[in-house]
Structure 1
């Protein structure tokens, strides 16, 4: 008997987990807590399918246990760790909707936004630069970060959310600048102006803001015959960036337009 037990443990260890029988059957615990702990252990070993089995068992067999909700959240974490970010975001959102007052609701809301952020286009040497790609997903992630920061101002995840939201904003501003230059090179002056207006309106403080105001002034004064809007662009530049190196030149140009 002892030999059989030793052999079973040896074979289970060879399979990568002592929580799976020789026939591949999952050996569930006797309580929700045991199932949840087993799922966490499987996650640590990157045994994603086994982890989900334990979490789902805890959730369905012990629906009124605190580990049922924690298991729901853990399943979302598994999807996130597998880079299934769209599915993870949906799972995190479902958790917040079902458990809005849960102690980890802020974590789920933050991770939902982060999942959208991770799912957005990223740079890779064999593909076009990030700023050339569609930014709808990144825009959605930025909005979700803003909603998170407003809803949970005291969350311990606030600093990371602010950091990722700032990166998302910079990338979106870079995209707007790229599209504006794309239009300008093709002499699509109205299109270029529209993108620049969106850049200074939606992404204040970006690295392109000063250049955007100056280019707007040129576009309106020279290409679009709109001296009023040209003056507005220069006035906004002087107001928002009075210490900018080119602010003095902007004041002279503003006087000339008057």
Structure 2
């Protein structure tokens, strides 16, 4: 099967440059190639005309729904005044929630660190948490799915103004990602239920997006975008391979949710 798919992918490229070549195929083999080719083109339609992440100062709800929400086209919103967070929404905030047994999570990503649990990570040495000289770099993420904890977090962040309230948090989950410069998540594809938004609350993070291997002949292979504090990225992480890396001098804090 893999040989057929690879050959079919090559067929897509050849047909684009020399349409008459496809006419040389006859019978069932040609029909098989055409079926696979058509399937690949349809599956790669989301990235076929994307050469970079769109960058806009703000988004209206209409533009969000019509152009970005369900098309797979990524967009970075750079200057929406509704984005923000309450003072104190930082590492210490989550550390205190952990100590008070108010931070309930469903999933913890330790990435390349040695932390075994989120509580373990949030109770790291103070020099580590404050980036004192000689600290060991770290990057962690976790999924909050407890409604009480979600409500506590929601009180301290702003939901994107262009995102209709009835579409936000369809599965009552919030993701938090925190890390030091030079670290991030490796290239991967998510398996969440819906497309995602992620607001950068502090620090800066470089994203590398990569189209699926099956789309190698239809889409640009990869490109990068940097998200700074106060900016928001709309991305369907179920179809775009992606990796992140904290850059600059400050701790990166980002909050992410899905929309239906």
Confirm or deny a common fold (TM above 0.5): no
Of Structure 1 and Structure 2, which has the larger fraction of its residues in helix?
1
Structure number with greater Rg is 1
The structure where strand makes up a greater share of residues is: 2
TM, length-normalised to structure 2: 0.24
TM-score computed with the length of structure 1 as normaliser: 0.24
Which structure exhibits the higher relative contact order, with contacts defined as CA atoms closer than 8 Å and separated by 6 or more residues?
A: 2
